[in-house]
Amino acid sequence: MAGYPVLPVAALAFAATELCRWRWLRKPQAASKGGGSSKDKAAGTAAAGWEDTGCSSMCFTPKQQDIGYMLRVECTPAAAAAAAGACEGMQQPQQQQGVSLPSAAPVLAAAAVTAAEPQQQQQQQQQQQQALNASSAAAASVVFGEPLTADVGPVRAGPEQPAARLRQLSPGVALPEAWRFRVMSYNILADQYAGTSYAQQVLFKYCPTELLDNNYRRQLVLEEVLRYQPDICCLQEVDDKVFAEFLQPQLRLAGFAGHFTNKQGRVREGSAMLWRSAKWACAAVRDVKLRDVFKQPLAERHAQFTPMLQGSPQLAEALQKVTTVAQMVLLLPRQPPRPAAGTGSSSSPADDGGREPGSSGSSGSSSGSSQQRMQAAAAAVLLRRTSCPAWRGCRPQRCCSAAT
């Protein structure tokens, strides 16, 4: 759709995504003809009437003037000379993976479109230019393969009033401070629940079928996520392929890292958590499967649930059938916190003297590590509250100066 960037999904082996060369072309739909191999199409691009769009980055955003045109992406795989030499004579595995993973002559599937704001697009172009500059500097040590292509289209007009803009009460504003962050939780409705005949004819019969199409919906979902500018995003009912081929690559370009957990059983959907890489570092990840938590006999750490399960055998049986999963992700802020402790000398209302309510005796010291300052702040609050003879009923601003 016009205004929604297209990102190809590539399978590479013995090649590096950041070294690959990209080119985007377009041609009116009426002049397009199918057939031919990817290599043949790459060789006959000019003769077939394809015109260069001028975009040489991996991501391309169609404009209004591109509506009705077919798009072609051309990828020339590349690898460092040392890596290419080490792989000579080796059988190239066909591994399907997302654009972010280094993987050998590319197999392209032109899919995945997102809605990115102009600022994000500028950032993406800068990143692509930096990668191009880096690869140009090492051009002598880079080996290129044969270019391959994939077609997609035609480009169609986007919605005049996207639901994301109508639902958003106020524009999302980035929160650069380390101590301020925005958390977003969103059930995006897995395609396996929206693409069935029952879903289209019964559950969502009020919705036009073309609007339930996953390729259309996921573009709008991503647009909404990016508009809110979350620092942590928790998504439910995420198709595994949508995450691997669409959400993860697109949100990586927007500065996010993430983790996906598939539900138990045969369903191919689950939960995904993403966080802004510039703000958070992932220290640990743990997946929790609810069925395993309540498996009999209960583990010692889950012993508190024993009375509940003994009192309801039906519940105990039901919990053995659920496919629900939970994610536990430990995130550490990249910017250290800056706490301060109030260290006034008064410990009771009688010691306040002539000070105004809310004032403190002196400011806390800023020396030492962040962890030490946090511990000092907590200790100051605890000591001042317990030293006040009337701490249970007094006003904190008069006799129990709190950390700020």
Q: Are 370 and 336 in contact (CB under 8 A)?
A: yes
Same domain, 313 and 167: yes
Residue where one domain finishes, among candidates 276, 306, 333: 333
Q: Is residue 3 part of a domain?
A: no
Mean pLDDT of all residues belonging to the chain: 74
Which residue carries 């994000």 as its tokens? 120
Mean pLDDT of 195-224: 91
Same domain, 205 and 224: yes
Residue where one domain finishes, among candidates 281, 306, 333: 333
Residue where one domain finishes, among candidates 118, 152, 186: 152
Report how far residue 72's alpha carbon sits from residue 150's, in angstroms, rounded to the nearest whole number: 6
Same domain, 143 and 219: no
At 193, is the pLDDT very low, low, confident or very high (cuts 50, 70, 90)?
Answer: very high
Same domain, 47 and 23: yes
Residue range(s) defining the domain that contains residue 360? 349-399
Q: Is residue 368 part of a domain?
A: yes
Residues 236-256 as b/e (b if ≥16 CB within 10 A, e otherwise) read: ebbbbbbbbbbbbbbbbbbeb
Same domain, 167 and 310: yes
Q: Is residue 375 part of a domain?
A: yes
Q: What is the per-residue pLDDT across 26-73, written as a single tens digit (0 to 9) for each?
A: 999 876 665 545 555 555 555 578 999 999 998 898 999 999 999 999
Q: What is the per-residue pLDDT across 379-403, written as a single tens digit (0 to 9) for each?
A: 333 333 333 333 333 333 333 333 3
Number of domains in the chain: 3
Strands 232-239 and 269-276: antiparallel
**Phi, psi for 26 (deg, rounded to 5):** -140, 160
103 pLDDT higher than 70: no
Q: What is the pLDDT of residue 338?
A: 61
Q: What is the per-residue pLDDT across 76-94, written as a single tens digit (0 to 9) for each?
A: 999 987 655 555 555 444 4
